[in-house]
Amino acid sequence: MTLQQALERIQPVSKDRLDAVQARIDRQAKPPGSLGRLEEFACRYVAIRQREQIRKKAIFTFAGDHGVTAEGVSAFPREVTPQMVLNFLRGGASINALASFAGAELNVVDMGVDYDFANHPGLLHHKVAPGTANFAQGPAMTRAQAVTCLETGIALAESAAARGFDLLGTGDMGIGNTTPSAAIAAVFTGLSPAAVTHRGTGIDDATLAHKIAVIEAGIKINAPDATDPIDVLAKVGGFEIGGIAGLILGCAACGLPVVVDGFISTAGALIASELHPQVRDYIFAAHRSVEIGHSHMLQRIGQEPMLDLQMRLGEGTGAALAMLLIEAALQGYRDIATFDAAGVSEGDAQ
């Protein structure tokens, strides 16, 4: 489906369904609310998907290179992006270990890596271009390329829904991609780049100051329009960020819950939720990154992270862990007896 068709299909999650699921949880043999946010996860998942079990789940790790790396904003060279993608395909990365543990299929999506990959069963070829342009000197991409990124992600979500997947997760790979993510955060939150920009792969103080200056310059040169999310993506974004945004939009259009990973994935979620406010109904925020801008981004989209483990890797690693919590919550939803069925007396509400 096109971007416009996806936006037209997105509906808020039914309040009646949410209330009905919560009523069942409240009848279970335990003090009301005693399982804390696990109850929230179960309630939201069942209301969104209208199922009590997850048949299949998948993580989509979107990869792309960034022209802004020419400004020296990362501790790692650009060549690491394809090297890490090849490591994903060999099964040797952190996301491989955690996705396997979570029982999630891993799909690596080449949205714009500056490398020609051979065919591989775990790799999806959707290269828009071999890396974005340097947004410190002009737009990162054209508006048409931004729409292509969004519609690629939408198509992947639509295909996953048709193949019986009930839960998707997002991930990223792209050297330098905390720089466009921080720029997106600054544009939508109205905060200064200094308030939302952090160390990424571990840069020193001098490089951090330079990175902030690069973002400030890029925003000034490009003047992205905060009321036009596609313009923001095109001016200061990344191909993989656009793919993530599209996947999230597609999940909302198809009635699929989506677990959003960390800082870069949340930049995609920001784009998606600014395009349609109801998108946030379908998002599970996996974790709080140590990147200082992440909390501001989560606040903007109205999400409380499921985990806070001091992680900052990306790839979809936080999403894989959060999927396990959703499954635990659903296990409780299915298996915990009601007070009546268990022959347990209910307490008096005080």
Residue 5 has phi, psi (to 5 degrees) of -65, -40
Report H helices in the chain.
3-9, 15-26, 37-49, 80-90, 94-102, 143-162, 178-189, 193-196, 205-222, 229-236, 239-254, 263-275, 294-300, 317-335, 339-342
Q: How far apart are CA 332 and CA 329, in angstroms?
A: 5
- Residue-range domains of the chain with CATH: 55-327 (3.40.50.10210)
Order the strands of the 105-112 sheet from edge to edge: 123-125, 105-112, 57-64, 167-173, 258-260, 283-285
Q: What is the mean pLDDT of each run of 10 residues along the chain (350 residues)?
A: 98 98 96 96 98 98 98 94 98 98 98 98 97 98 98 98 98 97 98 96 92 98 98 98 98 98 98 98 98 97 97 97 98 93 69
Name the nearest CA neighbour of 149 among 126, 119, 118. Answer: 126
Q: What integer pLDDT is reported at residue 348 of this predicted model?
A: 61
Q: Of 71, 158, 274, 315, which is the active-site residue? A: 315
Residue 317 and residue 94 in contact, taking contact as beta carbons nearer than 8 Å: yes
Q: Is 304 a catalytic residue?
A: no
Q: What integer pLDDT is reported at residue 160 of this predicted model?
A: 98
